[in-house]
Amino acid sequence: MTRYNTITSAPPAVAAARATDVVKSFGSGATAVVALDHVDVALWRGEFTAIMGPSGSGKSTLMHCLAGLDTVTSGTVAIGDVELRGLSDKKMTALRRDRIGFVFQSFNLVPTLTALENITLPMAIAGRRPDREWVTTVIDTLGLRDRLGHRPSELSGGQQQRVAIGRALAGRPDIVFGDEPTGNLDSRSSAEVLRILRESVDPLGQTVVIVTHDPKAASYADRVLFLADGRIVDELRSPTADTVLDTMKGLES
Ligand code: ADP
Ligand code: MG
């Protein structure tokens, strides 16, 4: 007779995005710059990951390659179980639109549209019907219920970035990428934006990856990856601003 044991351990982690042996160089010959030097990394589903490292260490390049905004020189990148190499432009565009959310340092909202229209714009373009219940949950998390009819110029920087996060989350992507999403914000607005990113992961179940310079911002993450000279050189789990700062100091010395 077969016996079935009760499995009490956590389910295996699933990669929302993965880079395998990725090299990215710019230019060629003697002037070539190796921005990513054989990077292997998995970004786990349902986690908030922060990427840190000195200026020029390859943070933006890694994020752009993982998000399919740039191609790799060698190695492979996958979003979920879809390998990006060899996808047609059309499939790549659809994958970015349907499965990836972006938050930029400079908000990048459409000035003539209201906050709500900005949030639902990608779905309107894709011809997808918004999941109303989800969009309402997102809007409540953003704390923007009474600002939905405002245009970007009528909102503070922090509010504009919250709209941009709403736009990234509205389609329920597999993964949300942010390159220095708090880089243009004062400390109070930064904290608000980071709280929202944190809540989008837990309890809402999204997967978020940000690049940041700020140890305080990184401390909101579950995991911090440290890059130096195009390589992942260290990693912290359950970071605090102090442990992040100490690790950064170790990289610079
Ligand atoms: P970070 O975001 O950590 O500051 P980047 O990923 O922007 O670093 O850059 C990593 C390295 O790649 C740097 O040496 C940078 O000068 C170089 N680099 C980035 N983008 C380009 C590009 N488009 N052309 C040439 N070199 C680039
Ligand atoms: Mg950068």
* Closest protein CA for atom 24 of ligand 1: 26
Position in ligand 1 atom list of the atom nearest CA 227: 3
Binding pocket residue ranges, ligand 1, CB within 6 Å: 26, 33, 35, 53, 55-61
CA 6–ligand 2 middle distance (angstroms): 46
Average pLDDT, the chain: 92
Tokens 């959310």 correspond to 101
What are the CA-CA distances from residue 137 to residues 8, 26, 142, 194, 203 (Å)? Answer: 31, 42, 9, 17, 11
Kindly report which listed range (51-55, 56-60, 123-127, 237-241) carries the lowest average pLDDT score: 123-127
Q: pLDDT confidence of 28, banded at 50, 70, 90?
A: confident
What is the atom index within ligand 1 of the atom nearest the CA of 24? 12
Rg (CA), the chain: 19
Sketch out the chain's domains with CATH numbers.
15-252 (3.40.50.300)
Phi, psi of 170 (to 5 degrees): -60, -35
Taking the complete model, does pTM exceed 0.85, yes or no? Answer: yes
Per-residue pLDDT for 237 more than 90?
yes
